Amino acid sequence: MELSIVIVNYNVQYFLENCLNSVFKATQNIDCEVIVVDNNSVDGSQKMLRNKFPQVQLIANRDNVGFSKANNQAIRIAKGENILLLNPDTVVEENTFEVCLDFFKKHPDAGGLGVKMLDGKGRFLPESKRGLPTPSVAFYKIFGLAQLFPKSKRFGKYHLGHLSKEENHSIEILSGAFMMIRKKVLDEIGLLDESFFMYGEDIDLSYRILQASYKNYYLADTSIIHYKGESTKKSSINYVFVFYRAMAIFAKKHFSSTNAKTFSFLIHIAIYLRAAMAVLSRTAKRVLLPFLDAAIIMTGAYGFMEYYEKTVINNSNYFTEAADLYGIPILVATFILFFFLNGAYRIPTKIKSIFNGAFSGAFAVLIIYSMLSEAHRFSRAIVLFSVLWTLILIPAYRALLHFLKVRPFQDSGKHHLAIVGKKDELIRINRLIKDTLMEPSTICYVNADNEEDGFDYHGKFYQLKDIIDIYGVNEIIFCSKNLSSSKIISQMAALKNPKLDFKIAPPESLYIIGSNSNQKSGEYYIMGTDVLLKPANQRNKRLLDFILSLFFLLFSPIFVWFSLNPSNFFSNLFNILIGKISFVGLAPLKENNDKNSNLKKGILTPLDAIDNMLINEAKKERLNFKYVKDYNVFKDVGLIFKKVSQLGRMI
């Protein structure tokens, strides 16, 4: 057997299916096997493998044993002369494996090889070729010199920036996302070091290949898409610690005592610097805008109060102390609350969210003020000025941040799609898109093979660039049933554009795989199941939970008599109030394969809306699907009051 392909999966079902579709297209002329090691996923990955890819050898672990150990499990039973370690969040070209195997045959000195990798927007990934992270190389990377001088042979050695990405090269370090190794080399140097749970094992293995007098190669002759680290978000603090600790393990294992200590010192500096930067960055992103909004509103209100007392009334003690201590802070807090509820602090922010927050906050402030007794109304003038001040100043300074590119607004959200495929797939994808949150303004249909079939296309595949320009296309969906992976990847590389997003629609699937930004490692959206996940609906659901829990607690002397379990009634309401559970959640399934499984558990479920409780798992899943797809906050209200006697239910 020529090749054994090993894929370690952890909760990335949709990426894995997309990857395997491309893998089996690329192995039609190769004697090979595919082994998937699943590290105890709970997203339905194993069920998908058994149903759609029965030819795959599945190793189902009961725990997440890590990347190295899982790969070793598969390598031990692999029969191929060559082993490929492949990430599940990748897409390979149809000729990728043949090109690599042919290179091995022509270069007996090659112990391992990697290929050109592109991200989800068609951009070259520099980790496709790397140098050994010696203390000096690590120093240049950690302290930013590698970023300042990426093409330098000395400072840019970590990513070998001086080597052309369009040519084949002998390199030092391969990427674990795609690492093909001769089996005889692994027999000689040993398997992956299981001291590395995740990250660093590819560096260690690459270095041991070099120590055994073999070479590692970077091949520019074929490309793959790598959506980059869907299993572990690379912006997280946890990633910083895991990655750099892996580097420390590598240094201790392979460097001299002096170099290892130097490297370890640099690593610890890097850990604390990156962790501190991550904490500060996240805190600033989440807290800075609410703080600035509050400061601006408060400055205007207090400034006007002082002006009004000194200039208009000529009495510095005109307003009561309560207005100073409570009135204005409550006014400010009301505005901040409504900005939050309208999504004005989401990243990125929609322009309309800011205006909605300002106007709804102004309305709330005026309503609250009108309901106060005369004794508590400190000044209509201050309230009116504060409202006008907020309506003008907050949108104005947010616009300034946008134009300075400090905090840009979210794109208008208008999708101008181009779907590339053939008649049947175009009709299927178009029908499914109508069930998503995308609401495209324009949909262009592009003929995948240039042959006419009676469908009304906007143009042909070779005209795609012109179609993008003429119709202002900002997102392209490739139908992989009608297009080869090679065509998709080469087109992404040719059209790479920061304003252009690429997606792949696998055949007979209800999801689309893609990557919209370098801030997101990978993403997918499932057709027709995202309505409840819409941020506005999630905020409305949480607000409903909060208000109704207070309502039921306030009138608990009445409602507790209707409860079938009074002792648990108060416990449930308290847990809803603090956000631990919800009034309405999804019905639990025996096998949790729903991407919305991270939603809060509910006292009630969609099953409570029907009389017959004796239903099978398939029916439960359909009810969950319908609830999420057609979510409406008023449906929750109706169900809650219909089943008020069940609010003390144990969950």
Residues 67, 201: contact at Cβ < 8 Å?
yes
Residues 130, 172: contact at Cβ < 8 Å?
yes
Q: What is the mean pLDDT of residues 64-88?
A: 94
Q: What is the CATH topology of the domain spanning 416-526?
A: Rossmann fold (3.40.50)
Instruction: Give bridge partners of residue 251 from the DSSP assignment.
Output: none
Instruction: Give bridge partners of residue 171 from the DSSP assignment.
Output: 216
Is the model's pLDDT at 529 over the cut of 80? Answer: no
How far, in Å, CA of 229 to CA of 174, rounded? Answer: 16
Q: Which two tokens stand for residue 116?
A: 């050109």
Is the model's pLDDT at 230 over the cut of 50? Answer: no
Instruction: Give bridge partners of residue 629 from the DSSP assignment.
Output: none
Residue 210 pLDDT level (bands cut at 50, 70, 90): very high
Q: What is the mean pLDDT of residues 373-384?
A: 78
Q: Which two tokens stand for residue 275?
A: 């962790």
Is the model's pLDDT at 30 over the cut of 60? Answer: yes
How do residues 390-434 score in pLDDT, each as one tens digit? 999 999 999 998 888 778 876 655 678 999 999 999 998 888 776
pLDDT above 70 covers a percentage of the chain that reads 83
Please state which of the ranges 134-148, 336-350, 397-411, 472-486 shows the lowest mean pLDDT: 134-148
* Most confidently predicted of 217-231, 448-462, 628-642: 448-462
Name the one residue in this structure whose structure tokens are 């919305």: 596
Residues 445, 455: contact at Cβ < 8 Å?
yes
CA atoms within 13 A on the CB side of 293: 27
Sort 626 into a burial class: Cβ within 10 Å, 0-12 / 13-18 / 19+. middle
- Where exactly does CATH 3.90.550.10 map onto the chain? 3-129+165-230
Please state which of the ranges 274-278, 496-500, 520-524, 549-553 shows the lowest mean pLDDT: 520-524
CA dihedral 228, 231, 234, 235 (to 10 degrees): 130
In 3D space, the residue among 65, 56, 69, 160 whose CA is nearest the CA of residue 114 turns out to be 160
How do residues 165-180 score in pLDDT, each as one tens digit? 999 999 998 998 999 9
How do residues 562-607 score in pLDDT, each as one tens digit? 888 888 899 999 999 888 899 999 888 765 544 445 578 899 998 8
Residue 528 pLDDT level (bands cut at 50, 70, 90): very low
How far, in Å, CA of 132 to CA of 110, rounded? Answer: 17
pLDDT of residue 515: 63
Residue 232 pLDDT level (bands cut at 50, 70, 90): very low
How far, in Å, CA of 279 to CA of 286, rounded? Answer: 11
Sort 647 into a burial class: Cβ within 10 Å, 0-12 / 13-18 / 19+. buried
Identify the helix (H) or strand (E) that includes residue 569: helix 566-577
The answer to whether the predicted template modeling score (pTM) of the entire model surpasses 0.95 is no
How far, in Å, CA of 218 to CA of 302, rounded? Answer: 64
In 3D space, the residue among 468, 298, 499, 281 whose CA is nearest the CA of residue 394 turns out to be 298
Residues 109, 215: contact at Cβ < 8 Å?
yes
Residue 436 pLDDT level (bands cut at 50, 70, 90): low
Q: What are phi and psi of 479, to 5 degrees?
A: -85, 105
How far, in Å, CA of 519 to CA of 145, rounded? Answer: 22
Please state which of the ranges 135-139, 246-250, 318-322, 332-336 shows the lowest mean pLDDT: 246-250
Beta-sheet strands, E only, within 597-637 = 602-604
Identify the CATH assignment for 3-129+165-230 out of 1.10.10.10, 3.30.70.2740, 3.30.300.210, 3.90.550.10: 3.90.550.10
- Where exactly does CATH 3.40.50 map onto the chain? 416-526
Is the model's pLDDT at 22 over the cut of 70? Answer: yes
Distances (CA, A) of 578 to 172, 221, 366, 546, 634: 52, 56, 29, 8, 22
The CA angle 152-154-158, to the nearest 5 degrees, is 85
